[in-house]
Amino acid sequence: MIVIVVSTWRIFDYDNDKEKEKDNDLKTVLGLSHSCTRSSMPPDNADKRPTDRLSRAMYTEYYGFSDDPFRLSPDARFCFKHRGFSKAKAYFQYALKHGEGFVVVSGKSGTGKTTLIDDLLGDLEHSDTLSVRLESAQVQGDDLLRRVAFAFGIEANGLDKATILNLLEGRLQERMRHHQKTLLIVDEAQTLPASALEELRLLTNLRLQGRPLLQIFLVGQEALTELIRTPELEQLHQRILCTCHLEPLPLEDARNYIAHRLQCAGWSGDPVIEADAVRALHHASQGIPRLINKFASRLLLHASLEELHRLGREHVQTILAELSDEQLLKSSSSSERQPPFNQDEEVEIADIAMDAELCWNLVYEPTPMGD
């Protein structure tokens, strides 16, 4: 259950008893026994928290998390299926059902491509599809062919190209005769030279009874989309069934992303993360999930060291300044320390239900107009 409140001195200004009664109902749903205030709100078990500064640096322990919600390395357990993610996965599933053609997924570094692959492989683990993942490297066509052979369990050392192809074809034909599919996923495909990509295209020429023996998904950074449009890869381009680009998260998705990861880590409401802090995190990260993780993790570290239980925009600005001083923030990000925030902005009071156990309440009280 998640409550994020826009930074205000008062949270509710009741016009009548009916509105107050509605709020009481909402607080019951959210498990709140009292109204929120600007002051810190340590939980009931605060006296059990680590008291020395070194222990507090382990913010997972200080806030009672079951895991680190904002790891920098991909973790399928925290997979958040936002709209862009779901679209890319739907393209994968469509192509698998279609049984032929390439699928190309691109995106900036940190937008969740590896997590997407992990999630797809998890779904296929107990299916009739043999899925092989190949981390790309700057290798030429013949070397890539050997890597593909090794990935499918073929010992290719000392063998010529024709022999490798014959062995690979035989292995794939055997699977198809048993009504099993074979999928090759090439990650970081933008690093491959054109000769290697052309070798992959030639592998899709392997057929049995008119059906392709191998399906290939290419995943990489933005340069991949430019590479596959070059004239020398025209034939590969014609065989691409669909493409998808993973965009940075918009603010709404970033809010839900942060909420989802906190929930997966066993967050119970401490610390409270105010809506203006979420906006500041989104602005500084430009919506890139890996950067959201980086900044949110640093924010929680700062909060545990300072024994904070409510985090606002000013705390995000503090950690961004620290990261800049440590040269861990891009120089072009200096303007991101001061995210735009309009105090007169109207934010609709809404509950966004992510699942039966998660509720995110956005509450905003406009600046009083006077008596």
Instruction: Please give the chain's pLDDT, 371 residues, in tens.
Output: 333 333 322 222 334 444 343 333 322 222 322 223 333 344 444 445 555 555 555 889 899 999 999 999 988 889 999 999 999 999 999 999 888 889 999 999 999 999 999 999 999 988 999 999 998 777 888 889 999 999 999 999 889 999 999 999 999 999 999 999 999 999 999 999 999 999 999 999 999 988 999 999 999 999 999 999 999 999 999 999 999 999 999 999 999 999 999 999 999 899 999 999 999 999 999 999 999 999 999 999 999 999 999 999 999 999 999 999 999 887 544 444 444 444 333 332 223 233 323 333 333 333 333 43
- Closest by CA to 9, choosing from 343, 232, 332, is 343
pLDDT score recorded for residue 49: 55
Give the Cα-Cα-Cα angle 115, 117, 123 (nearest 5 degrees). Answer: 105
Give the CA radius of gyration of the chain.
25
pLDDT score recorded for residue 50: 54
In eight-state DSSP terms, residue 245 is: E
- Name the fold adopted by 83-246: Rossmann fold (3.40.50)
Token pair for residue 306? 């300072």
Q: Would you say 113 and 217 are in contact if contact means Cβ atoms under 8 Å apart?
A: no
User: In whole angstroms, what is the distance from residue 284 CA to residue 291 CA?
Assistant: 8
| 3-state secondary structure (DSSP) of residue 40 | coil
Is the link from the previous residue into 248 a cis peptide, with omega within 30 of 0? no
Token pair for residue 318? 């503090």
- Closest by CA to 107, choosing from 266, 224, 226, is 224
Token pair for residue 366? 């406009």
169 by Cβ neighbours in 10 Å (0-12 / 13-18 / 19+) ranks as: middle
1 by Cβ neighbours in 10 Å (0-12 / 13-18 / 19+) ranks as: middle
In eight-state DSSP terms, residue 248 is: P
SS3 content of the chain, % helix, strand, coil (to 5): 45, 15, 40
Parts of the chain belonging to CATH 3.40.50.300: 83-246
Query: Is the pTM here over 0.85, yes or no?
Result: no
